[in-house]
């Protein structure tokens, strides 16, 4: 299917694994020049080998100054996919400051920073653009031990709406996608227990979670 994206440039965060990696692969196959952002150099090396032409950028998006330096060297971007996230799951009464700070730094603050950098570039060039924020169904439903993670995704949802309102006049579209559990490495670490996964599977008419390249379905009992 021709997506009409050939020749464009996309920046994808969290590109080393799971949904982000599959997004890079799909965009690259569609003729898009992709800037792949990950904090893990080994993941970027293997991705670049799989998808020649991908421009790897290794940076921890939780570090504001390092992110500013790394992305200031990236050329014009037409499409941004904010996929990077951490899921540090803890019971509400045991939530730590460290888990809270890291979760909001990566899942929300970094999105704001990366979007500012990319959107300012689009506006300066006078071109339309598109931003996609990868949120989660956990922003819509209460799940045990998800108080902080769900809060970051709920905040991301409303951030997306405000960005769409403010950036729309500049011809920049902003949308969010809210997938259910996908068995990426992060998904596996939190949902490999069949008894725990049943809570999610019972809510899904198809009886299975999401899948992407190299991912596996949620384990059934």
User: Which residues are known catalytic residues?
Assistant: 149, 153
Burial 83-110 (b: 16+ CB within 10 A, else e): bbbbbbbbeeeebeeebbeebbbbbbbb
Nearest to 51 by CA among 73, 27, 70: 27
**Cβ proximity of 67 and 40 under 8 Å:** no
Nearest to 190 by CA among 38, 20, 18: 18
The DSSP element (H or E) to which 190 belongs, if any, is helix 185-191
CB atoms within 10 A of CB 193: 9
**Sequential DSSP letters for 16-72:** TSHHHHHHHHHHHHTT-EEEEEES-HHHHHHHHHHSTT-EEEE--TT-HHHHHHHHT
**Cβ proximity of 118 and 80 under 8 Å:** yes
Alpha carbon 141 to its chain centroid, in Å, reads 19
Q: Is 120 helix (H, G, I), strand (E, B) or coil?
A: helix
């Amino acid at each position: 299917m021709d997506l009409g994206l050939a020749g464009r440039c996309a920046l994808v965060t969290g590109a080393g694994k799971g949904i982000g990696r599959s997004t890079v692969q799909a965009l690259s196959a569609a003729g898009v020049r992709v800037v792949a952002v990950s904090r893990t150099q080994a993941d970027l090396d293997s991705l670049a080998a799989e998808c020649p032409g991908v421009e790897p950028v290794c940076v921890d998006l939780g570090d504001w100054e390092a992110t500013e330096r790394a992305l200031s060297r990236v050329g014009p971007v037409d499409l941004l996919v904010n996929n990077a996230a951490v899921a540090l799951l803890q019971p509400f009464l045991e939530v730590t400051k460290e888990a809270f700070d890291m979760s909001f730094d990566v899942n929300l603050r970094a999105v704001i920073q990366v979007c500012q950098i990319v959107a300012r570039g689009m506006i300066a060039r006078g071109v339309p653009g598109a931003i996609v924020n990868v949120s989660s169904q956990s922003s819509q439903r209460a799940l045990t031990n998800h108080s902080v993670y769900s809060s970051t995704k709920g905040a991301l949802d409303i951030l997306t709406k405000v960005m769409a309102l403010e950036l729309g006049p500049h011809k920049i579209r902003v949308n969010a996608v809210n997938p259910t559990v996908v068995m990426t490495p992060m998904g596996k670490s939190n949902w490999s227990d069949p008894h725990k996964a049943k809570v999610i599977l019972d809510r899904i008419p198809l009886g299975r979670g999401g899948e992407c390249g190299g991912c596996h379905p949620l384990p059934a009992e």
